[in-house]
């Protein structure tokens, strides 16, 4: 049996964690990733014998039987490339939905990220909209975080500002971006609130904390967050103005129609 560290999905996950740390998005133990994996893709690497069982602390029954690769609680993204089995794990949601089997990883007896309720609830929300959805990613991207201190936390206003900062934004996230006020992290309340946003968006801002992104692949999800972060950086650099030029609403409409994307028309004036 080939080592799981040679699996393409694991190589990509490790590289993504490393890249996010080097960008300054995941300091210390900040941030987390979960990725749905098909059983057929795991067969060459695992025998599927549970190592132990963990309590999920909420009901994830809609995800029963699904396998996820997840970053560990209290683990540092900068260490993932050096010891993946310590810092990552693979779990399968049990039929009762309230427990999961550890199939690999968390070699020190650790657990998945404390934000697992937010991840799993977001997976449920996104799978109800897109059967090909796979990834949820959370990080503390610096300029996006800074923007939550100086910009109104309103879905329409936040989205429109980001769209105006860079030509590609309305094409990359045409449905917009959801905002949440500051909330205590690591519990089911913020998980429920995030999942409600994920019913309409693939991106959700946690004010004074960071961003949640969802997508079909690690590349897509990383790209969503990267695009928001670049536009937030432009906003932070130009907010003291005066702004002389911008992308107008009529130009945003032209962009969206040229690229044939289904954008939130009500987010423009």
Catalytic residue ranges: 115
Q: Nearest CA to 96 among 70, 65, 134, 120? A: 65
Q: Nearest CA to 34 among 90, 101, 111? A: 90
Distance CA 145, CA 255 (A): 27
Q: How far is CA 264 from CA 4, 25, 163, 201, 216, in A?
A: 42, 28, 11, 11, 21
DSSP assignments along 31-81, one per residue: -EEEEEE-HHHHTTT------EEEE-SS--GGGTT-EEEEEBTT--GGGTT
- Which residue matches tokens 């657990």? 111
Peptide bond before residue 217 is cis, with ω within 30 degrees of 0: no
* Bridge partner residues of 35 (DSSP): 69, 135
Q: What angle do CA 30, 205, 10 make, to 5 degrees?
A: 50
SS3 181: coil
């Amino acid at each position: 049996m080939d080592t799981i560290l040679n699996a393409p999905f694991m190589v990509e996950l490790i590289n993504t964690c490393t890249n996010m740390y080097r960008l300054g998005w995941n300091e210390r133990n900040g941030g987390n990733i979960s990725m749905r994996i098909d059983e057929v893709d795991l067969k060459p690497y695992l025998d599927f014998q549970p190592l132990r069982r963990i309590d999920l602390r909420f009901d994830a029954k809609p995800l029963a039987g699904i396998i996820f690769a997840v970053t560990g609680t209290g683990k540092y993204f900068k260490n993932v490339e050096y010891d993946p089995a310590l810092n990552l794990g693979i779990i399968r949601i049990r039929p009762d939905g309230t427990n999961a089997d550890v199939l690999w990883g968390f070699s020190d007896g650790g657990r998945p990220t404390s934000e697992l309720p937010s991840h799993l609830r977001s997976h449920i929300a996104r799978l109800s909209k897109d059967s090909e959805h796979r990834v949820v990613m959370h990080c503390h991207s610096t300029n996006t975080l800074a923007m939550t201190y100086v910009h109104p936390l309103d879905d329409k206003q936040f989205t429109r500002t980001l769209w105006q900062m860079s030509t590609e934004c309305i094409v990359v996230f045409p449905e917009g971006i959801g905002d949440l006020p500051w909330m205590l992290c690591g519990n089911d309340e913020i998980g429920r609130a995030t999942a409600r946003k994920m019913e309409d968006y693939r991106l959700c801002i946690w004010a004074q904390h960071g961003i949640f992104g969802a997508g079909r692949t690690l590349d897509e999800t990383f790209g969503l967050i990267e695009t928001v972060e670049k536009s937030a950086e432009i906003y932070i650099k130009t907010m003291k103005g005066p702004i002389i030029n911008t992308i107008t609403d009529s130009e945003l409409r032209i962009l969206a129609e040229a690229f044939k994307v289904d954008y939130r028309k009500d987010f423009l004036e």
